[in-house]
């Protein structure tokens, strides 16, 4: 999973911040070239993070490397905010701090950490990066279920999209002999997707810091701290020698930190304030396609008929949810 999502309560993806400064351009006035450039960054960079994780964990401890990635990103983002906005840039009250930390634990330690674990391990047991991305694509479907059990009433077509999406999930993980998706890894990612969905759902209902960038600093700090603790508890520090880490794993970790957690996230937050949410939400079904393609082209991950069929059905279900939720999201934005 690429990055924390600010105020992510919508099944179609993160919602817009409650209020934007008057000086920012509205979605109607933002330059189309800038919108599509930012959207392209989110499509490609977040889609590529699944492959980046696979390369990083070749010689890096999985949870420790994830913790290091988000800790470094948190420090860089905090320094930038401090330089641009002054000493009070990161000031929040205790309730906001606890909320941001809790969401960060769910999103990063639970969601991202479990994806990293699923992609690590010896050949035959590690989950291919493209399949991991397809499973993570079920997050909008899981958020719809959370809305349903808490009293919301999604539209009939939205629920139909959820049904289609989960049918694709079953097709993807059904055992089929040779070339089957590793079931343990797939279930690990599904649990991670549940954690990510709960964190996204709660972030729109808790008293989070008003600025999504500030919230992200505390989310990353809390998530990275727990990832390091869990990694140490798993014995990842025992016998770890940085000199034994390959250059490509270090480069992958740097790529994840800069491209995935900083550049793509910044583009994403800008899009939330300058483009229609229905357009921004398309990342949910473009990222898996990018991840599958990169995995097949760059590290020869197998793309079996089962992966193609199950993945296509999942993406179709997510696309149906995003499309049918579009009018409701626009109404919410107009009232913000």
Give tens-digit pLDDT for 93-152.
Answer: 999 999 999 999 999 999 999 999 999 977 778 899 999 999 998 888 888 888 888 888
* 68: CB partners within 8 A, 6+ apart: 224, 228, 253
- Total count of domains within the chain: 1
CB 106 within 8 Å of CB 205: no
The DSSP output letter for 261 is I
Axis-axis angle for helices 62-85, 212-233 (nearest 10)? 150
C-alpha distances in Å from residue 323, one per residue of 33, 152, 157, 277, 326: 23, 18, 9, 11, 5
C-alpha distances in Å from residue 307, one per residue of 53, 128, 133, 170, 297: 20, 10, 11, 11, 15
125 within a domain of the structure (yes/no): yes
CB 121 within 8 Å of CB 54: no
3 within a domain of the structure (yes/no): no
67 within a domain of the structure (yes/no): yes
* H-only helix segments in the chain: 32-41, 47-56, 62-85, 94-104, 113-119, 129-136, 139-149, 156-173, 183-203, 212-233, 247-255, 264-274, 277-280, 283-299, 305-335
Residues forming beta bridges with residue 13, ordered by sequence position: 10
Q: What is the DSSP string of 291-331?
A: HHHHHHHHH-----HHHHHHHHHHHHHHHHHHHHHHHHHHH
pTM surpassing 0.75?
yes
26 within a domain of the structure (yes/no): no
**Nearest C-alpha neighbor of 128 from the set 318, 299, 332, 319:** 299
27 within a domain of the structure (yes/no): no
Expressed as residue numbers, the domain containing 104 is: 32-335
Q: What SS3 string covers 38-72?
A: HHHHHHHHHHHHHHHHHHHCCCCCHHHHHHHHHHH
Q: Say how far apart CA 17 and CA 22 lie, in whole Å.
A: 13
25 within a domain of the structure (yes/no): no
> How does pLDDT run along the chain (336 residues), one tens digit per residue?
544 444 443 333 333 233 333 344 444 456 888 888 999 999 999 999 999 999 999 999 999 999 999 999 999 999 999 999 998 999 999 999 999 999 999 999 999 999 999 999 777 788 999 999 999 988 888 888 888 888 888 888 888 988 998 898 888 887 666 567 888 888 999 999 999 999 988 888 899 998 989 999 999 999 999 999 999 999 999 988 999 999 999 999 999 999 998 999 888 888 877 887 768 878 888 889 899 999 999 988 888 888 889 889 999 988 888 787 654 444 333 323
8 within a domain of the structure (yes/no): no
Q: Say how far apart CA 305 and CA 213 lie, in whole Å.
A: 41
177 within a domain of the structure (yes/no): yes
In degrees, rounded to 5, the angle at the alpha carbon of residue 26 between the alpha carbons of residues 14 and 268 is 35
Give tens-digit pLDDT for 211-241.
Answer: 989 999 999 999 999 999 999 999 999 988 9
């Amino acid at each position: 999973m690429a990055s924390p999502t600010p105020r992510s309560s919508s099944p179609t993806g993160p919602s817009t911040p409650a209020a934007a400064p008057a000086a920012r351009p509205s979605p109607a006035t933002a330059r189309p070239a800038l919108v599509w450039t930012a959207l392209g960054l989110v499509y490609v960079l977040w889609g590529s993070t699944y492959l980046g994780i696979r390369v990083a964990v070749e010689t890096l401890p999985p949870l420790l490397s994830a913790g290091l990635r988000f800790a470094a990103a948190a420090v860089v983002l905090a320094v930038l905010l401090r330089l641009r906005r002054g000493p009070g840039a990161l000031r929040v009250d205790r309730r906001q701090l606890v909320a941001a930390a809790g969401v960060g634990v769910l999103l990063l330690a639970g969601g991202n950490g479990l994806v990293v674990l699923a992609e690590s391990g010896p050949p035959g047991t590690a989950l291919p990066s493209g399949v991991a991305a397809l499973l993570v694509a079920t997050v909008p479907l899981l958020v719809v279920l959370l809305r349903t059990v808490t009293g919301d009433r999604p539209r009939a077509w939205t629920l139909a999209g959820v049904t289609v999406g989960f049918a694709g999930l079953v097709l993807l993980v059904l055992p089929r002999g040779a070339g089957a998706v590793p079931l343990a890894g797939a279930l690990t990612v599904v649990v991670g997707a549940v954690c990510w969905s709960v964190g996204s759902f709660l972030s729109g209902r808790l008293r989070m810091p008003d600025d999504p960038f500030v919230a992200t600093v505390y989310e990353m700090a809390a998530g990275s701290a727990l990832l390091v603790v869990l990694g140490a508890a798993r014995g990842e520090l025992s016998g770890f020698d940085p000199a034994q880490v390959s250059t490509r794993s270090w480069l992958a970790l740097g790529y994840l930190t800069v491209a995935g957690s900083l550049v793509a996230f910044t583009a994403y937050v800008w899009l939330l304030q300058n483009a229609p949410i229905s357009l921004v939400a398309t990342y949910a079904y473009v990222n898996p396609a990018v991840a599958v393609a990169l995995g097949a082209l760059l590290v020869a991950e197998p793309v079996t008929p089962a992966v193609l069929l199950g993945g296509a059905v999942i993406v179709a279900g997510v696309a149906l949810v995003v499309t049918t939720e579009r009018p409701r999201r626009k109404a919410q934005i107009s009232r913000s």
